[in-house]
Amino acid sequence: MSRFTTAASIIVLIVLLVACGKTPEEEFVENAKWADIEEIRSSLEAGMSPDAMDGAGRTVLMHAASRGRADVAKLLLSKGANVNLSDETGKTALMYAAELGQTDIAQLIMREHADMNARNNKGETAVELALKGGHTDMVQLLRMAGAK
């Protein structure tokens, strides 16, 4: 599929989504959960924000972290995604990676100066979420990087 065809498809999709009540950002986040990396890249090049959020305030980076999509995380970070945004529950992308044991993605996020001691709305840190999930390798990674 050419870039022009992809861009045209995205524009048509945006028009349809607005008519259905979802914002283009919400639909981008929803589609990016499962999309091919090139589709995500095309959307970003067409002007979609790397910090686009769904209705619950979750960013594409948060979804990438929770789904083990290191390729998507790298792309978003290269486009300037903010690693310290939090969703409605107060969770950051690092917290999603930590609670699911996604150490490769956590390392990518931490390189971008993530707040490793941020707390969600329940007062939990990434370390505490990793402990709850039984991810001792993640706990060790976070603590070695200075997380409490």
Give this prediction's pTM.
0.83
CB 131 within 8 A of CB 141: no
The tens digit of pLDDT for each residue in 35-78 reads: 889 999 999 999 999 999 998 999 999 999 999 999 999 999 99
Residue 56 lies in a domain: yes
Distance, CA of 68 to chain centre: 10
Q: In percent, how much of the chain has pLDDT > 70?
A: 86
What is the per-residue pLDDT for 11?
67
CB 48 within 8 A of CB 25: yes
pLDDT at 33 over 70: yes
Burial per residue of 2-40, b for 16 or more beta-carbon CB atoms within 10 angstroms, e otherwise = eeeebeeebeeebeebeeeebebbbbbbbbbeebeeebb
CATH label of the domain that carries residue 97: 1.25.40.20
Number of structural domains in the chain: 1
What is the per-residue pLDDT for 19?
54
Helix and strand tally (H, E) in the chain? 9, 0
